[in-house]
């Protein structure tokens, strides 16, 4: 059973860079889309972006939400089965619970991390 | 971006009721739609994918239907554990977007 464990700083000042990492335990890292989603307090879900690792080479293909694309980088460390999110120049509007997750090609987002509340103040 | 609109935003129901939530897409998404359940303080949980496929381990009282631009999530015989917020999400083309959520409350 795949489990996702995420960590990172929970309190940032405006203009700093948000950095979160998610470890994938108990399953294959290749052949899946590794995704970041966020949820502002009391609000709905917003897809941030995802990275796909085909398992053939050590590169991954990324897709980002255009609304965040200029500030977002998603990367992966295949040797440790981890993937990371960096969001630069944060403001109070970036305050949210951030989730890492796994998406299948046909299925929806079937595995989620526990979530990390990031507050920008 | 494809906009996803859920209705209603809030729904009051009793245990044993049959509940239907609607999700409309601003353009056709074929059947590339998922439904999630979220409880306070928890990550969402996948219920339905590809519009009508039940995720493993999800009770059979949950069902999904639809294609194109209109989709429904039905909960037959609502149970106490089902009071939560439900979201639809398309994965037809980037960027993926979610509906605004439907909160199912106890009547």
At A8-32, the pLDDT tens digits run: 999 999 999 999 999 999 888 888 9
- pLDDT of B71 reads 98
- pLDDT of B89 reads 98
Residues of A in contact with B45 (CB under 8 A): 112
- Within an 8 Å CB–CB cutoff, is residue B94 touching chain A? yes
Residues of A in contact with B1 (CB under 8 A): 66
- B30-54 b/e (C-beta count within 10 Å ≥ 16 → b): ebbbbbbbbeeeebbbbbbbbbbbb
Q: Yes or no: say if A100 and A113 are a contact pair by the CB < 8 Å rule.
A: yes
Q: How far apart are the first and last CA of chain B?
A: 36
Whether A58 has a pLDDT exceeding 90, the answer reads no
* pLDDT band at A1; cut points 50, 70, 90: confident
- pLDDT of A45 reads 98
Whether A121 has a pLDDT exceeding 90, the answer reads yes
Task: Over range B7-11, report the average pLDDT.
Answer: 97
**Cβ contact, residue pair A110, B89, below 8 Å:** no
- pLDDT of B13 reads 96
Distance from CA of A117 to the nearest CA of B (A): 10
**Cβ contact, residue pair A109, B36, below 8 Å:** yes
The DSSP call for residue A116 is: E
- pLDDT of A13 reads 98
Tell which residue, B63, B60, B56, B71, has the closest CA to residue B26.
Answer: B71
Q: What is the mean pLDDT of chain B?
A: 97
Tell me the residues of chain A between 38 and 67 that have a Cβ less than 8 Å away from chain B: 44-47, 63-67
Q: How many CB atoms lie within 10 A of CB A91?
A: 11
Whether A57 has a pLDDT exceeding 90, the answer reads no
């Amino acid at each position: 059973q795949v489990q996702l464990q995420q960590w990172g700083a929970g309190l940032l000042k405006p203009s700093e860079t948000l950095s979160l990492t998610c470890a994938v335990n108990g399953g294959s890292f290749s052949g899946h889309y590794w995704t970041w989603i966020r949820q502002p307090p009391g609000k709905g879900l917003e897809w941030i972006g995802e990275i796909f690792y085909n398992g053939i080479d050590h590169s991954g293909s990324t897709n980002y939400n255009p609304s965040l694309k200029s500030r977002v980088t998603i990367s992966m460390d295949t040797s440790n089965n981890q993937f990371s999110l960096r969001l630069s120049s944060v403001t109070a509007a970036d305050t949210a619970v951030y989730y890492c997750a796994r998406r299948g090609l046909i299925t929806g987002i079937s595995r989620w991390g526990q979530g990390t509340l990031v507050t920008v103040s | 971006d494809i906009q996803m609109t859920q209705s209603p935003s809030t729904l009051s129901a009793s245990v044993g009721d049959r509940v239907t939530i609607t999700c409309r897409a601003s353009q056709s998404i074929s059947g590339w739609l998922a439904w999630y359940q979220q409880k306070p303080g928890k990550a969402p949980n996948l219920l339905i994918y590809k519009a009508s496929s039940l995720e493993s381990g999800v009770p059979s009282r949950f069902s999904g239907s639809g294609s194109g631009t209109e989709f429904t999530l039905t909960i037959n015989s609502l149970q106490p554990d089902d009071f939560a917020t439900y979201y639809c999400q398309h994965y037809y083309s980037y960027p993926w977007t979610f509906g605004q959520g439907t909160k199912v409350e106890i009547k």
